[in-house]
Structure 1
Amino acid sequence: RVIADHARATAVLISDGIYPENEGRGYVLRRLMRRALRFGHKLGLRGPFFTGICLEVEKVMGDAWPELRATRDVLERVAGQEEARFLRTLGAGVELLDRAMAEAKAHGKGLLDGDTVFALYDTHGFPLDLTEVIAAEQGLAIDREGFERLMAEQRERGRASWKGGGTSDEDLVARCMNLGYRTEFLAYETTEASGTLLCLGDGGTARHFGAGEEAQVVADRSPFYGESGGQVGDTGWIYGPLGKAEVLDARRPQADLIVHRVRVTEGVIREGDQVRLVVDAARRDLIRKNHSATHLLHRALREVLGGHVRQRGSLVAPERLRFDFSHTGPLSPEEVSAVEDRVLAWVLKDYPVSTHVLPYDEAVARGALHFFGDKYGDWVRMVEMGDSRELCGGTHVGRTGEIGLCKVVSETGVSAGVRRIEAITGPAVLAYLRERERVLGEVCGLLRCEPGAVVERVQRLIQTEKDMRKELTQTRVQTRALGETVLEAGGVKVMVVRADGMDPKAMRELADRMRDKVGSGLVLLTRADNGKLAVVLAATKDMAERRPAGALLKAVLGPLGGQGGGNPLLAQGGIPDAALSERVLDALLAMLRT
């Protein structure tokens, strides 16, 4: 009943665009799926089974819930990936949990320790409540306090690694709120404006700053876009009556407040100064190109890959854009090209880019892209370019033609069900192509060929190298074959060969050759490599029945701190200290004498 119930929930949630992850609704889905998989494990199911049951949900409920039918392929990929991922760790996790519970009960403890609970969560992906349920079935509680302590330590380590440059603006924001200070936001209309410095701070009590000092600044009016929605903050300058400051960054901690991080470069700036605020317009233009390109990329991805694609994060900077989106696997080169082609087509049509501030329901009715569960106010800002309509608070180009060429430079995975595209636009594309052209020119010069012949020339070089390596291996085999030593112990001939400089494949080939030469007996090959000793042991067919190579080599190397194994005819292994090579031979001969 649990598996059937959770399969229904899984199918419906995935059809609604919710994927397994470690937070929010995605975490609820992950917990449901892993609980169902754990019950399957209890029933003795060791292979994938849950995805197939989810697909049966589509067959049974597809008429009543058409989204199930439309997203069947997505359901199969997402559920299949999550199931395979958890099954890889489930066995080891259950084994760890069983051992820990048995130990706790053996010592008369009624509590499963926090270290084990945390290891199950952090390493094996066991949700806390799943561990709690399994433990309760054995009459044990879990050390929730210990688990929470370890979680807090992990979060603190994460925060410590995240903290970087930049002065905290929390005190400044609190002071502005208490005094009723607000910033008139002008970033949509202009890149230059006059205003009054309302509040300055650096975490201390200073209200004026001189050359070389950094501070946080709030003005009553600002053309600076404060970092939000994935778009980085503007940079620029503030000119006052007694000094000048460079704006290093701008943030928007409140909807009606812009905090500028500045470094005073000349004179002094003070609270109350009448100033001129000037945005770096050239940098803003690059950001606007990239932000508008993200909207077109989003539209193109949904057309090429399907309606399940939704934005999961972004970064819009002057030099590049990064766009995270929900999808089940890597994009093929053809899919990337199809996305680029669509974006280029919309750029060339030079659509006007318009913004509308309107009620949320009206924006939805007009086709604005929105997603269930995302938070929107009663009034929203809709950005429209061609058929693309999204709710967005960023800055954009006036027409799509201003974007120029958009080039995807990488496509990678971020986490389960989330992919990441990085792209460049406008002048950055030209610089990218020039660099590629320069590298190609150097390669052509080295290969002494035209660009069109590079691939064929490289393929020929690779094949030549393979042929030379094969010839070198054969030469080494033949050379080593002339330098063997034959010993005897317990009526068994042992041919000993030093194989230094040979790779494992060549060692096996040489073992086969020497085995034919010895007639009846064993062949022992050793190779010193970076202080370690690699060993190959081969047995002739008649000897394999009495002295199987796999068992023999394992017995020889074990006492020397090594490992080895294989089949009766051929085995390989090694020990960590090459200086013990003579002891390997001595141990083999001693075993043959017993």
Structure 2
Amino acid sequence: MDVRKEFLEFFKSKGHEITPSSPLVPDDASLLFTNAGMVPFKSIFTGEIPRPNPPRKTSCQTCIRAGGKHNDLDNVGYTARHHTFFEMLGNFSFGDYFKKEAIAYAWEFVTRILKLPKERLYVTVHESDDEAYELWQEHIQKERIYKFGDKDNFWQMGDTGPCGPCSEIFYDQGEKHFNSSEDYMGGDGDRFLEIWNLVFMQYERSSDGKLSPLPKPSIDTGMGLERVTAIKEGKLSNFDSSLFMPIINEISKLCGKAYEYESGASFRVIADHIRSSVFLLAQGLSFDKEGRGYVLRRILRRALRHGYLLGFKEAFMYKLVDIVCKLMGTHYSYLNEKKDFIKEQIKLEEERFLATIERGIELFNEELKNTKEIFSGELAFKLYDTYGFPLDLTADMLREKGLAVDEAKFDELMREQKIRAKASWKGSGDKELLGDFKALIEEFKENEFIGYDNFSSHSKILALLDEDFKQIKELKSGQIGFVMLDKTPFYATSGGQVADLGLINKSEVLDTQKIYNLNLSKLKANENFSIADRVEARIDIEKRRQTTSHHSATHLLHHALRKILGSHITQAGSLVEPDKLRFDFTHPKPLSEEELEKIENMVNEMIINSYEKRLDIMELNEAKKSGALALFNEKYQEKVRVISLGESKELCGGTHVKNTAQIGSFYIVKESGVSAGVRRIEAVASKAALNYAKNLNKELLSLKNELKTNEPLNALKRLKNELLSLKNELKNQSKQELQSFEKNGTQICVQSLTNGDIKAMIDEFKNKFNKAVILLIQNKDGKISLAAGVKNASLKAGSLVKEAAQILGGNGGGRDDFATAGGKDASKIEEALKRALSSIQKEL
């Protein structure tokens, strides 16, 4: 089924004009690329241009999400749904039809044209949108309609402008393949897959946040072509669909290696990235050192590095252009017209990168030998600057090793390079210090930061700079520029702590930066400022206090993590703001609820204990010998500040509370993964913690009201037990008894069956015994599935299942402890079982 064609023809029959896909580079300075189907119509929605005639449009819009706010690049290849390039199907009404028709059209297309089974469809609406809730009940049972809040079901173009509630259609991919704790409607799992978003644009949001009804409400919808195609073809991953498999098969043919999903991330990265590269080049973009051209270069070079992993040592991406044009050239004819040009450009770029990749990887591997947890930011920058390795490419390589890169250091070096480029002074002959900064440092050395103990100061202006860091004699009212004071209370962004805000006289301080140890405040002038003026500088005391509480809380959190999880914990990054904190740390696995509770309790105990802050100025080596924690790869001065809060002791240049009691309280809001081997905790303290607790209490009261009980936990447990009982009842209906025997202390099971969940059976079998080897072959409805599990034995599940699958005319593999495969020839099941049993007994 050609989903793209069916969609456009369906809406054409409903009076919509088919609009061709707009360029990937939009006529919109706020966007890097066209990232949604509505982008070409943005000016219509905002009222900048009149409504078109007819006021109904439909399109299949090509989109890129690989930079800026919408950046999926890091996830591509490692998930089933993320892409840098994708196509978004959409229908739009500009003040013509509204919710009733949009809902009816969507339901008709999904059920009559796509013929998706109604029993697998679910719908969400905004919690306040009773109209949509009632309209959907004309098409789908009330029990299959869910209400969610702003986060899930409210859409807005920006902080101000057109906005409104939205309604999403979900497809249930089934519990068989998706049964994690997050696989429920509203959860983060993949079981319930969003396929279509209907935005009801009915409000205008003003700068004060007020919502006013639009005189002509509009409709904006978006449906991912890749997702719908995969669903129609019965695939659980977009990459297994007909949109990608021909490309993957071509990659496999070129490298001489079979594609397997579990180990096939590199195939998927290349298949995705060649589509992006072909379309961007076809639309006139070229490889460059900055901007959109640099994003294109990043995409191609990431694919090349994955090609390198597959064994490609010569240019190969250009050989995939033909298959992309064959797959997509019918609808996008310009691909075929520019095919030869695209091949030439890709081949040239490949050859440029391949000329340096060997040396870059050598340097990478050399540094890797000296890396325990955090990879050098300096070398990451050198790989970028000298050898053309984008940062996310280096991060990608490290993820496979369970490591992370020092992004803070990389960003610092990148900032310095940008400043260097901006300054571009001629004739100084000094490569290290930039012209304006060199002169400032020579004249003043450093200006004095007095903000540890003072929230205000009467200061003298030493220098003024414009936004390009060029020295100026006067900063006039209405202008924005940088002010260098002889002494300043404004803390500059560093160490994860955000800068102070406040006033210089009556002018607003927007930011404070530290450049070459010069403390510069960015000012929006409400009066004229000249060099040598005497001014009053005042920080925003309340924001400083809240930021300080969160900063001290990160120290307590760091200490608690090391106490509870172990001394392997190392800080990998942090962000400290007035209303929250974020702390990244090295750890190999997610934290359990029990661990999180212990950590949270320990931090709060340290707060309650009212520890006085102790500040020591020490020699660096002396500080380290005293047990003070220092950040890996951070460069410190010879004299350092050591902050002690109870047992917590760290080198730190940030601001801190005088007593831990001033933090008030501490709550962990979220724990998540950043990359392989790096976890993240997000938390709140002080006033933010108080607000968090109030909101939790409100939610608890709402839950009590909803469940009509004062003991909601017991009620939820009852519901959970009832659900578990029903699940077990269903499970037992299809369960078969497993036959096993013991040899040399290892329990062995090799068996064929027709019903049951073989993965669950293997998990249950392994849990029963200290040493176990199990292979199950299931012939169900003409489909042959194999799975193997190994526990505390010398065999490898991947090898075991692969040997059996090959006898059955299939293939597969996986981890040493668990692996799956498929087969074709049911007549050889007994032979496969006998061979597997023989292999197991021989090994044992």
Q: TM-score, normalised by structure 1?
A: 0.52
Structure 2 counterpart of 1:262 = 523
Deviation digits for residues 467-526 of structure 1 (CA, Å, limit 9, x no counterpart): 9999xxxxxxxxxxxxxxxxxxxxxxxxxxxxxxxxxxxxx99xxxxxxxxxxxxxxxxx
Amino acid at match of 1:358: M
Amino acid at match of 1:384: S
Separation (CA, whole Å) in 2 of partners of 1:428 and 1:301: 22
Deviation digits for residues 251-284 of structure 1 (CA, Å, limit 9, x no counterpart): 12233x21001112x3322322210000001111
Structure 2 counterpart of 1:392 = 652
Cα deviation for residue 452 of structure 1 reads 3.4
Cα deviation for residue 232 of structure 1 reads 1.1
Amino acid at match of 2:452: Y
Structure of greater Rg: 1
Separation (CA, whole Å) in 2 of partners of 1:214 and 1:121: 44
Separation (CA, whole Å) in 1 of partners of 2:359 and 2:672: 26
Cα deviation for residue 568 of structure 1 reads 4.6
Cα deviation for residue 378 of structure 1 reads 2.5
Cα deviation for residue 340 of structure 1 reads 1.5
Maintained 8 Å contact 1:325/1:420: yes
Structure 1 counterpart of 2:643 = 383
Structure 1 counterpart of 2:166 = none
Cα deviation for residue 96 of structure 1 reads 2.7
Maintained 8 Å contact 1:447/1:457: no
Maintained 8 Å contact 2:464/2:471: no
Deviates more, 1:311-320 or 1:360-369: 360-369
Separation (CA, whole Å) in 1 of partners of 2:528 and 2:384: 49
Matched, 1:195 2:459: yes
Cα deviation for residue 424 of structure 1 reads 1.0
Structure 2 counterpart of 1:340 = 600
Cα deviation for residue 429 of structure 1 reads 1.2
What SS does structure 2 have at the residue aligned with 1:96? coil
Structure 2 counterpart of 1:544 = none
Maintained 8 Å contact 1:172/1:199: no
Structure 2 counterpart of 1:286 = 546
Maintained 8 Å contact 1:172/1:200: no
Structure 2 counterpart of 1:233 = 499
For residues 265-414 of structure 1, what are the structure 2 equivalents within 5 Å? 266-370=526-630, 374-414=634-674
Distance 1:181 1:373, change over 3 A: closer
Distance 1:151 1:439, change over 3 A: farther
Query: Which of 475, 488, 505 matches 1:222?
Result: 488
Amino acid at match of 1:152: G
Separation (CA, whole Å) in 1 of partners of 2:598 and 2:527: 54
Maintained 8 Å contact 2:353/2:388: no
Matched, 1:455 2:716: yes
For residues 159-170 of structure 1, what are the structure 2 equivalents within 5 Å? none
Query: Number of matched residues?
Result: 363
Maintained 8 Å contact 2:500/2:539: yes
Distance 1:376 1:184, change over 3 A: closer
Deviation digits for residues 159-181 of structure 1 (CA, Å, limit 9, x no counterpart): 99x99xx9979765344224336
Amino acid at match of 1:236: G
Cα deviation for residue 444 of structure 1 reads 3.4
Cα deviation for residue 321 of structure 1 reads 1.3
Amino acid at match of 1:229: G
Separation (CA, whole Å) in 1 of partners of 2:358 and 2:723: 47
What SS does structure 1 have at the residue aligned with 2:561? helix
For residues 73-222 of structure 1, what are the structure 2 equivalents within 5 Å? 95-97=310-312, 152=388, 154=390, 173-180=437-444, 182-202=446-466, 203=468, 206-222=472-488
Distance 1:127 1:446, change over 3 A: farther
Amino acid at match of 2:703: V
Maintained 8 Å contact 1:172/1:216: no
What SS does structure 2 have at the residue aligned with 1:173? helix
Distance 1:568 1:259, change over 3 A: same
Separation (CA, whole Å) in 1 of partners of 2:444 and 2:351: 51
Cα deviation for residue 566 of structure 1 reads 4.9
Cα deviation for residue 421 of structure 1 reads 1.6
Structure 2 segments unaligned to the other structure (5+ residues) = 1-303, 317-349, 367-382, 395-409, 424-433, 732-753, 756-780, 785-807, 810-821, 828-844
Distance 1:172 1:286, change over 3 A: farther
Separation (CA, whole Å) in 1 of partners of 2:385 and 2:512: 36
Maintained 8 Å contact 1:352/1:386: yes
Amino acid at match of 1:258: N
Maintained 8 Å contact 2:464/2:484: yes
Distance 1:114 1:452, change over 3 A: same
Amino acid at match of 1:333: E
Separation (CA, whole Å) in 2 of partners of 1:151 and 1:376: 28
Maintained 8 Å contact 1:186/1:223: yes
| Percent sequence identity over aligned pairs | 31
Maintained 8 Å contact 1:197/1:270: yes
Cα deviation for residue 206 of structure 1 reads 4.4
Separation (CA, whole Å) in 2 of partners of 1:193 and 1:399: 24
Separation (CA, whole Å) in 2 of partners of 1:285 and 1:538: 64
Separation (CA, whole Å) in 2 of partners of 1:284 and 1:194: 19
What SS does structure 2 have at the residue aligned with 1:228? coil
For residues 469-480 of structure 1, what are the structure 2 equivalents within 5 Å? none
Distance 1:441 1:454, change over 3 A: farther
Query: Which of 496, 513, 526 matches 1:251?
Result: 513
Maintained 8 Å contact 2:462/2:486: yes
Separation (CA, whole Å) in 1 of partners of 2:729 and 2:357: 50
Amino acid at match of 1:195: S
Maintained 8 Å contact 1:231/1:315: yes
Separation (CA, whole Å) in 2 of partners of 1:198 and 1:414: 42
